[in-house]
Structure 1
Amino acid sequence: MGPHVVSDEESSFKFTRLQDSEYLVEQQIDIPLASSLTRQYWPQSYERSMDLYSRSPSSETGKSFLQHSKQHYIGKSSDLSVDKCEGRLSEALPLLNSAHTIEDKVCEEGSPADDVRPAFQQQQKSSFFQAVFNGVNMLAGVGILSMPYAVAQGGWAGLSCLLIFAAVCCYTGVLLRRCLDLHPHLSGYPDIGQAAFGRVGRIVVSGLLYGELFAVAIEFLILEGDNLTQLISFEGLNFGFFRLSSEKSFVIISAAVMLPTVWLRDLGLLSYLSLGGVLACITVLLAVAWTGIFEVGFTNHGQLLNLQGFPIAVGLYAFCYCGHAVFPNIYGSMREKGKFSLVLVVSFMVCTIIYGGIAVLGFLMFGDDIKSQVTLNLPRGRVATTIAIIATLVNPFAKYSLTVTPLAAAFEELLPVDLKAWNFTVWGMIIRTLLVVSTVIVALTVPFFAYLMALVGSFLSTTVAITIPCLCYMKLFSGRIPLWERVLIITFVTIGLGACIAVSVWKREMLASVAMR
């Protein structure tokens, strides 16, 4: 069979398909880079565990998910194998079948890598609107609760940062897509890091992604503790020799309730519950608007710019758009990959409207008295308040396990391959329990929702969503980037580094404030 050539008008990369299912990139990728992509470096489980975040809310997808998740479990298994075409571990993970085959037919439309993606990605086809839903669901998270607080800290002018981060992060999402199209072996964010900077790149990118997930899991516990205290009157746990506040008590109780979900190997139900993130955000927005219209009113004005709290606002706004870890999975699951850029634009526009709307409403209602989470300012005992808090609590309950699972899978990869199934299960439960305990310890030590979110947003989110995509793109495309885009990318990197520097200046004051409390 002769070679088939697939071209893409946007990126103009050419791939030649050979009889033995190996692919060469003509005049685009040097041999060392292409060969390095077939080397197996830890971790290998990240992009597959992230598929749980990119499921489409359709009956067909759900049936496929449950079918695969019943047959496979996360981590090592006795049927561990290496896929020759991908050159990566084909561990038994949800949505991943160890017996992959590559279709013989070359796609006539879409990206040049459409026909060489793993079979599990080709089978999980999402429509344009399903991809947008997944994108919005990933971006619209707990950051919505702190938007009014961000306005109080940075002033009205600080809202411009929300728009800037939305535009920059949307563009860097497009850069990730271009990197994925560069070679058929690229299917996840860590793969891009490896392609650009080798083994070190993969480990650094994975470490940043895992660090972000760990911090988000901590945020979920703090959120549960604060909002349960607002919803339920509770004096806290008293152990005789010491007493825990109600917030810290609810953190421990929430972790204990969610621990069994972390032990689960079949996360199908939780992955679908997590799709309610969009509904939860809209519910909170409507509840805040209802409270403002019929009870509190919109009487506060605030100041144009608050330089003292501006670094906190920058970190909070940056945290809102930390969805790049899942973008490759959403891209890989799309039926029409050529529309991925439009998916990003629509997703970011919808989320920016939601974030901006609650930021304006919440601050006009409560002004400088706004707390780190707007739900904590809502009047107690009201129906709207109860609905908003319940919507806020349910989503983290579903997403906590999905957030901890990728970390657990990475550690489970390090376990000896010759472990028996029951030994692996026991060690897996120990690893997952220790991860939950570690998040509880940090949540009890630094129980300040907005401060932690600002730190994560300024350091991890900006690095993952802005700096790393830009650096990888410049490294992989080097001399093929036009001057105007090179200047634009350098500007974006400067913005990302500027956010890190800004929060570093503010960090001393934050630590002093934490110590006083």
Structure 2
Amino acid sequence: MRREEGGENHMSNEIENPLLPKSSGRVTGTASAAQTLGNIIVSIVGTGVLGLPFAFRVAGWLAGCLGVMIAGLSTYYCMLLLIQCRDKLVSEDTSSTETKTYGDLGYKCMGKAGRFLTEFLIFTSQCGGSVAYLVFIGQNLFSIFKSYTSLTYRSFIFLVVPVQILLSWINSLSALAPFSIFADICNVLAMTLVVKEDVQKILGGEFSFSDRKAVSSNIRGLPFAGGMAVFCFEGFGMTFALESSMRERGRFSKLLAQAFTGITLVYVTFGFFGFMAYGDDTKDIVTLNLPKDWSSIAVQMGLCVALIFTFPIMVHPVHEIIEGSLKKSSFFQTHPCISYDNNSTTRLGKFMIYISRAILVVALAAIASFIPGFGAFTSLVGSTLCALVSFVLPALYHLILLGSSLNFWQRSLDVCILLCGLLFAVNGTYNSIVGV
């Protein structure tokens, strides 16, 4: 599952949290090429893939295929821009503290405002991904049990809140990491089941290819689907951590290209087959289209259980940022009942931290309960937060740091990505809110 988001978000302790301050000095990575490849896939592939068939329904199968490929290529290129920016800073001053996070890069380019902007966007994108998880869980549980109970979609979201609060109190991400692997296995099973259903419909002659539109006549459908495609490639905040973890860093660009090629191919195939299977009846979460037999219900339940246990990983960076702000506050540092002289927290201080985590989970659940649909929300997050984090900021920082050394075409490409990213964010936001 994604992470999203960003998320980024299903990494073991070997890949450190991209939003938190790190120790100085460049540490040699220990991950092999195979391990790094696995980490890249886990960081990028997530819940959003289950909304791709709906994106193809909105945009058309040809427009959907092109949109996913453009989103994948653009994300890959902008990740390389970040690596170039970091390498430029290291080459200029090898004695300075290494730029290890996206926020560090923002600080080097634009000072405190750059760090705040970068980390704020990643912070909100993590929250958006967390809300998407809860929406997914609520919609799937409601679909499974609606004929057996009078509970509403919102009720199912709040039913899992106590479990999410308890899990959020676990400080060790390594204890939750196995559930991330379980989530991705369930993701693969869900995609396999959808493709199986599609093949059965094709062999049974239950659909006509001519009935599946190649390009939507609804102009607003294209940026809407584009937002969902961008959401599927989140995990941008993990760029530095992924590259730094690799033993042979010089091979990272090639490895990243291989990963993006494979992921993009899977995304295109899954979105295409899902749309072909269900056509205009394709729902915003394609698992809701599956027949109500034991295998489909098992996959849906598996996805929900996996997301319940991986939700704390997605929201963990948000907890860390909030708690970091609390611990730096004068009230927290000076109050004798909360903090010792060495800034270690007392039991009361830890209790306040646990309360802040519980409040955050309840707040995210409250937001999720008002989200009308998974597809519209993921498109909104992809069009705004993910587009700004993945395209606008990398191009801007690349121009700031390397603009004078770039040729005309390189600068033009950066400016094009910057402007297109901004236009995409504005237009995509409008279309997501207005609806398609």
TM-score with structure 1 setting the length = 0.73
Q: Percent identity?
A: 24
Alpha-carbon distance, 1:277 to partner: 4.5
- Number of the residue aligned with 1:283: 189
- C-alpha distance in 1, partners of 2:244/2:346? 31
Greater RCO, CA 8 A, separation 6+: 2
- Number of the residue aligned with 1:127: 32
Q: Please list the CA deviations of residues 297-331 of structure 1 after superposition, one character each: whole Å capped at 9, or x if unmatched.
A: 56253212222422211111111111211111111
SS of corresponding position for 1:326: helix
Q: Following superposition of structure 1 onto structure 2, how do residues 415-434 of structure 1 map, counting pairs within 5 Å?
A: 415=327, 416-417=332-333, 419=339, 420-434=345-359
Q: Following superposition of structure 1 onto structure 2, how do residues 71-220 of structure 1 map, counting pairs within 5 Å?
A: 116-118=25-27, 122=28, 125-159=30-64, 160-181=66-87, 182-183=89-90, 184-220=97-133
- C-alpha distance in 1, partners of 2:364/2:387? 22
Alpha-carbon distance, 1:395 to partner: 3.4
Correspondence for 1:398 among 309, 322, 342: 309
Contact persistence 1:371–1:377 (CA under 8 A) = yes
Q: 1:50 to 1:139 in 2, by over 3 A?
A: closer
Contact persistence 1:322–1:464 (CA under 8 A) = no
Q: 1:274 to 1:497 in 2, by over 3 A?
A: same
Q: 1:507 to 1:364 in 2, by over 3 A?
A: closer
Alpha-carbon distance, 1:365 to partner: 0.8
Where do 5+ consecutive residues of structure 2 fail to align?
Answer: 1-5, 91-96, 340-344
Q: Following superposition of structure 1 onto structure 2, how do residues 358-373 of structure 1 map, counting pairs within 5 Å?
A: 358-373=270-285
- Number of the residue aligned with 1:16: none
Q: 1:278 to 1:364 in 2, by over 3 A?
A: same
1:55 and 2:12 correspond: yes
- Number of the residue aligned with 2:428: 503
- C-alpha distance in 2, partners of 1:293/1:364? 9
Contact persistence 1:236–1:249 (CA under 8 A) = no
The alignment covers a number of residue pairs equal to: 402
Contact persistence 1:136–1:347 (CA under 8 A) = yes
Q: 1:443 to 1:505 in 2, by over 3 A?
A: closer
TM-score with structure 2 setting the length = 0.85
Correspondence for 1:259 among 165, 190, 193: 165
- C-alpha distance in 2, partners of 1:205/1:270? 27
CA RMSD of the aligned region, Å?
2.6
Contact persistence 1:50–1:329 (CA under 8 A) = no
Alpha-carbon distance, 1:52 to partner: 6.9
1:302 and 2:212 correspond: yes
Where do 5+ consecutive residues of structure 1 fail to align?
Answer: 1-48, 69-73, 76-87, 91-99, 101-115, 238-243
- C-alpha distance in 2, partners of 1:89/1:303? 50
- C-alpha distance in 2, partners of 1:308/1:444? 26
Alpha-carbon distance, 1:346 to partner: 1.6
- C-alpha distance in 2, partners of 1:51/1:169? 14
Alpha-carbon distance, 1:157 to partner: 3.1
Alpha-carbon distance, 1:235 to partner: 5.5
Q: Tell me the amino acid that sits aligned with residue 481 of structure 1.
A: L
Q: Following superposition of structure 1 onto structure 2, how do residues 4-23 of structure 1 map, counting pairs within 5 Å?
A: none
Q: Please list the CA deviations of residues 254-289 of structure 1 after superposition, one character each: whole Å capped at 9, or x if unmatched.
A: 222222111111221212321344423321221112
Q: Tell me the amino acid that sits aligned with residue 75 of structure 2.
A: C
- C-alpha distance in 2, partners of 1:55/1:262? 16
